[in-house]
Amino acid sequence: MEQPFKTRLTEMLGIQYPILMGGMQWITRAEFTAHACNAGGLGFITAESFETPEDLRQELRKMKDLTDRPFGVNISMIPELGNLKDRTHRLCDVVCEEGVPVVETAGRNPAPLVPALKSAGVKIIHKLTTVYHARKAQEAGVDAVALLGFGSGGHIGTQDVASFIALPMAVDRLDIPVIAAGGIADGKGFLGALAMGAEGVLLGSRFLATRECPIHDEVKEKYVKAGAEETALLMKSLGNPMRTIRNRLADEVLAIEARGATLEEILKYVAGRRTRSAYMDGDPENSMLPCGQVVGLIDEIKTVSQVIQDIIDEAKILMNRLKKMES
């Protein structure tokens, strides 16, 4: 089988294409994630979507019935308060016991989880927002990092550095593979990331607008119709900015932040249960809907397989175009 764009990441994970579906809470469960794996990429089941570690275990076993390809689990370490820290370690234990080949960590220094994961032969990809923290993650022993740029969706950090700058900086300063996370929806972004030294890409927003994605069609249409300028950074006043779609709720949050709202006031608007409800019930205006500026490149709802194959096909065409420029 032809394997274009063979990289250190495809070799490390045993996948056909260096394209990852990032973990998205409430969304990337077995049925959805398996489509990315079966299409030649790799997807992450989000551990925090499940009430208990044992629920996660059952989902992992279901996943093994849906694909014979490698898959991963996202373990978020935000926040680690009270018994949530113990919960994180219990989730990690389940991942190790079930033979999951790769974990995507995020939120805090992954060092406390590294020994257990390494002992079980699990590859660790740490998702982060700065080159400084990427170097710290490498020192902690992770196998790769996924670097979010300023235009990404979700929690983007506070440095406001574009991927076009951060990515080559990370590649120059790290020995482990660097994955471009966020801001990519097509072959142009994919090939551009590889040209800057990335070993693969991690997509989130583009996979939201797919047929298999288990969110309401009204929400998918919101993503398809939105322009690149129609996102907003919420919770910037709290030092934890999150990029979301610009909707009624986002405007309300921005307004109360401008008035100096407290953490408690803001949390009433941005609670995760509201987003989950929107995903299921189809209310795209009154809930926080994380996404990146890349929504401006999404103009069609495709299958997961189409998204991945179109990226590869376009990148091949662009490669041939570049080769012709040599003569």
Q: What is the mean pLDDT of the chain?
A: 93
Of the listed ranges 80-84, 105-109, 152-156, the one predicted with least confidence: 80-84
Write down all domains in the chain, each with its CATH number in brackets: 8-212+303-324 (3.20.20.70), 217-293 (no CATH)
CA gap 169, 149 in Å, rounded: 12
Spatial neighbors of 84 by CB under 8 A, at least 6 apart, are none
pLDDT higher than 80, residue 286:
yes
The secondary structure of residue 290, as a DSSP letter, is B
Place of tokens 């033979």: 99
Spatial neighbors of 288 by CB under 8 A, at least 6 apart, are 234, 242, 244, 249, 250, 253, 269, 270, 274, 275
Of the listed ranges 67-76, 97-106, 274-283, the one predicted with least confidence: 274-283
3-state secondary structure 197-217: CCCEEEECHHHHCECCCCCCH
Share of the chain above pLDDT 90, in %: 81
pLDDT higher than 60, residue 82:
no
Predicted confidence at residue 175, as pLDDT, reads 98
Token pair for residue 138? Answer: 């490498």
Distance of CA 132 to the CA centre of its chain: 20
Residues 204/146, Cβ–Cβ less than 8 Å = no
Share of the chain above pLDDT 70, in %: 97
pTM of the model: 0.94
Of the listed ranges 9-13, 222-226, 268-272, the one predicted with least confidence: 268-272
Amino acid at 20: L
* Band of pLDDT at residue 81, cut at 50, 70 and 90: very low
For β-strands 102-106 and 178-181, DSSP reports them as unpaired
pLDDT higher than 90, residue 307:
yes
Token pair for residue 26? Answer: 């409430």
CA gap 201, 17 in Å, rounded: 10
For β-strands 178-181 and 200-203, DSSP reports them as parallel
Burial class (CB in 10 A: 0-12, 13-18, 19+), 162: exposed
Dump pLDDT digits (tens) for 121-158. Answer: 999 999 999 999 999 999 999 999 999 999 999 889 88
